[in-house]
């Protein structure tokens, strides 16, 4: 399949459609910023959707609990390492997304033979 670019692109499109279908029934998470901080709101009480990643950084997600946990742990690991080797002020959401979550999500999505992350 890798030798045939069209089939690879088709497989990626099928994965995207599958993920969207699986996540369609999830209840939303809304984050509102205000002067004193951030307010996270969600419907449903069946499972935890909002997590603290590091000092002043939180994550909200819907999807498969195992996939959400893997993403959460990747973000916590990078945030802890950054905070320890540099300073807590150097830990930013931008760095966590660019250097922790994005590579993990991209790698899982592009591996057409493995299961994708079901998380948003």
Mean pLDDT over 74-94 rounds to 90
Give the mean pLDDT of 4-10: 75
Higher pLDDT pick, 56 / 77: 77
| Predicted local distance difference test score (pLDDT) of residue 76 | 92
Q: How confident is the model at residue 66 (pLDDT cuts 50, 70, 90)?
A: confident
Determine how many CB atoms are found less than 10 A away from the CB of residue 119.
23
Record: fold of 5-110 = 3.60.20
Report which of 32, 33, 79, 69 is spatially closest to residue 48, judged by C-alpha positions: 69
What gap in Å lies between CA 119 and CA 20, rounded to an integer?
A: 10
Q: Categorise residue 51: left if φ over 0, alpha if ψ from -120 to 50, beta otherwise.
A: beta
Q: What is the mean pLDDT of the chain?
A: 82
pLDDT at residue 85 in the model:
92
Given a cut of 80, whether residue 120 has pLDDT beyond it is no
What pLDDT sits at residue 48?
76
pLDDT band at residue 79 under the 50/70/90 scheme: very high
In order of 14, 27, 70, 83, 92, the CA distances from 117 in angstroms are: 14, 18, 9, 27, 23
Q: Within a 10 A sphere around the Cβ of 12, how many other Cβ atoms?
A: 14
* pLDDT value, residue 80: 93
Residue 102: both structure tokens together:
């994005």
Question: So where are the chain's domains?
Answer: 5-110
């Amino acid at each position: 399949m890798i030798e045939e670019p069209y089939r690879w692109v088709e497989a990626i499109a099928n994965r995207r459609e599958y993920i969207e279908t699986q996540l369609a029934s999830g209840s939303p998470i809304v984050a509102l910023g205000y002067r004193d901080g951030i307010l996270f709101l969600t419907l449903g009480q069946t499972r935890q959707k909002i997590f603290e990643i590091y000092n002043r950084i939180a994550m909200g997600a819907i999807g498969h609990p195992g996939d959400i946990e893997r993403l959460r742990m990747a973000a916590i690991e990078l945030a802890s390492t950054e905070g320890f080797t540099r300073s807590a002020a150097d830990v930013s959401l931008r760095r966590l997304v660019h250097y922790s979550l994005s590579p993990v999500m991209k790698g899982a999505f592009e591996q057409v033979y493995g299961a994708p992350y079901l998380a948003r």
